[in-house]
A and B are shown apart, each in its own frame.
With several copies, the nearest count.
Chain A
């Protein structure tokens, strides 16, 4: 792919700058902060630990519980604190995108809790939250089949693009397709989409997202390596 007229001068298959910091929350068992363009997410993991309320306990596995929360000042118009339907949905969707990478059956009767706080919200909060959570899980020493890596691809102004900006998301023909995957097996664990598109184009957009995931995967591995070699 070649250089495009994207609003921020990125190439079609280029992601925004990404920074990763591991171990940012001292009391948590694992934590990470990921900046992705103007999106910023802190994720922290507690667990495996005793589960409250007790009726959520499962005899044969650990229960993974993810909270996705936007801080009141992370968006232009202040967001009232507290849950809404969107955060409930995203908590669930993120749980299901991380769960395939975990060995939950090895920690029966426990909970693994992940708190993801969006401190600055631009495009891609859910995918950035997944990337941060994945690093936090690794930092907590929780065994994983693979890191989970996430980014969105889509279409805007008739072009298929990796990692769309907010402006591109507002294009009349915009399609936004966030993906999460376990790069080693290529298994896709998150797939959502809004916008009208042919099934063939969906396949192409998933391919583009995969390219992005592979890049982020390398950065995740590097960040972990640096953390443990320092």
Chain B
């Protein structure tokens, strides 16, 4: 846990527009995205932002559709902190933070409608494809929302369809064709402290400042998911500013890393 003194120094600097690692408030650490990092997955990606490292893998299986969407495939996303990711992470049932992380990334993907679920129908009412996105935090140095969101979409775009054999089992060895993915939703977290907006907080900064909005936005500049987190309230103006910053940032990230 961050020492109280470190926390105070971080906040004093933020007020002056400065950061301890001399980045600007809206400056990212280096982002790297590598796909195809696990041969067994239908799709996979490793994302590093500075020293934060997460991996995501996509697996497919057949499932029964929900009664109210009988012709659509289904999706489930989970995020987990691996014990190796930080000294305080522990093996065990998912913690509150992991559940929130998973659900926010899930919504950013789901609500953007970037997965064409109708193309994942095998037989209406009976059988559809289920897409599992599993995200693992391997090294935690802050900004997990951005990193996990990037890993999820990168793994989806990397994924190939497995083959359904005649006897109904799934052949994961012979993949063919991509998953039906249209668009590239990007999740950006913007923190706020005394009227300053900060991007890409590292682990210490993230503990010092919790209040943020996490925004999932799309190629055309629309927003498809939004969540305020943290222990302080925000004014309408702050929210409007942060929203704009998130959408602008997502465009830059999309252009740079997904062409």
Direct contact of A and B (CB under 8 A): yes
Interface residues of A (CB under 8 A from B): 25-28, 31, 38, 40, 42-44, 46, 49, 52, 67, 69, 71-78, 81, 83, 85-86, 88-89, 91-93, 96, 99-100, 113, 115, 117, 119-121, 177, 181-182, 185-199, 202-203, 206-207, 210
Q: Mark B40-59, 1 if CB is under 8 A from A, else 0.
A: 11101000000101010111
- Interface of chain A, main secondary structure: mixed
Does the CB pair A115–B39 fall under 8 Å? no
Does the CB pair B38–A74 fall under 8 Å? yes
Known: A89-B99, A96-B229. A199 touches B223 (CB 8 A): yes
For A99, the chain B residues whose CB sits under 8 A away are 231
How far is the CB of A227 from the nearest CB of chain B, in Å? Answer: 18
For B6, the chain A residues whose CB sits under 8 A away are none
Does the CB pair B134–A100 fall under 8 Å? no
Known: A113-B83, A198-B222. A100 touches B141 (CB 8 A): no
Known: A120-B38, A196-B223. A191 touches B140 (CB 8 A): no
Q: Which residues of B14-45 have CB atoms within 8 Å of chain A's CB atoms?
A: 37-42, 44
For A91, the chain B residues whose CB sits under 8 A away are 96
- B contact residues, range: 35 or more
Contact of A73 among B44, B85, B94 (CB under 8 A): B44
Contact of B41 among A49, A73, A81, A89 (CB under 8 A): A73
B230 at the interface (CB under 8 A from A): yes
Complex-state Cα separation, A178 to B112, whole angstroms:
18
Does the CB pair A71–B136 fall under 8 Å? yes
Does the CB pair A195–B87 fall under 8 Å? no
Contact of B58 among A73, A88, A198 (CB under 8 A): A73
Complex-state Cα separation, A89 to B87, whole angstroms:
24
Does the CB pair A25–B139 fall under 8 Å? yes
Q: List 10 A-B contacts (CB under 8 A).
A: A28-B84, A38-B40, A42-B84, A44-B84, A71-B136, A187-B233, A193-B227, A196-B112, A199-B223, A210-B236
Does the CB pair A73–B57 fall under 8 Å? yes
B163 at the interface (CB under 8 A from A): no
For B227, the chain A residues whose CB sits under 8 A away are 93, 191-193
For B207, the chain A residues whose CB sits under 8 A away are none
Q: Which residue of B lies closest to A177 (CB)?
A: B226
Does the CB pair B51–A78 fall under 8 Å? no
Known: A25-B138, A73-B58. A117 touches B82 (CB 8 A): yes
Does the CB pair B228–A115 fall under 8 Å? no
Complex-state Cα separation, A113 to B177, whole angstroms:
42
Known: A72-B134, A89-B99. A199 touches B228 (CB 8 A): no
Does the CB pair B38–A188 fall under 8 Å? no
Q: Which residues of B123-141 have CB atoms within 8 Å of chain A's CB atoms?
A: 132, 134, 136, 138-141
Complex-state Cα separation, A113 to B84, whole angstroms:
9
Does the CB pair B228–A38 fall under 8 Å? no
How far is the CB of B107 from the nearest CB of chain A, in Å? Answer: 6
Contact of A89 among B51, B103, B222, B244 (CB under 8 A): B103
Complex-state Cα separation, A119 to B86, whole angstroms:
18
For A31, the chain B residues whose CB sits under 8 A away are 84
Q: Which residues of B184-241 have CB atoms within 8 Å of chain A's CB atoms?
A: 213, 218, 221-236, 239-240
Contact of B236 among A72, A188, A192 (CB under 8 A): A188
For B113, the chain A residues whose CB sits under 8 A away are 196
Known: A27-B85, A27-B87, A202-B226. A71 touches B134 (CB 8 A): yes
For A93, the chain B residues whose CB sits under 8 A away are 227
Contact of A49 among B55, B78, B87 (CB under 8 A): B87
B243 at the interface (CB under 8 A from A): yes
Does the CB pair B222–A197 fall under 8 Å? yes
Does the CB pair A192–B221 fall under 8 Å? no
- Max chain A C-beta neighbours (<10 A), residue from B40, B96, B132: B40
How far is the CB of A160 from the nearest CB of chain B, in Å? Answer: 15
Does the CB pair B239–A72 fall under 8 Å? no
For A188, the chain B residues whose CB sits under 8 A away are 228, 233-236, 239
How far is the CB of A86 from the nearest CB of chain B, in Å? Answer: 8
Q: Which residue of A lies closest to B41 (CB)?
A: A73
Contact of A119 among B55, B80, B107 (CB under 8 A): B55
For B239, the chain A residues whose CB sits under 8 A away are 188, 191, 203, 206
Does the CB pair B243–A202 fall under 8 Å? yes
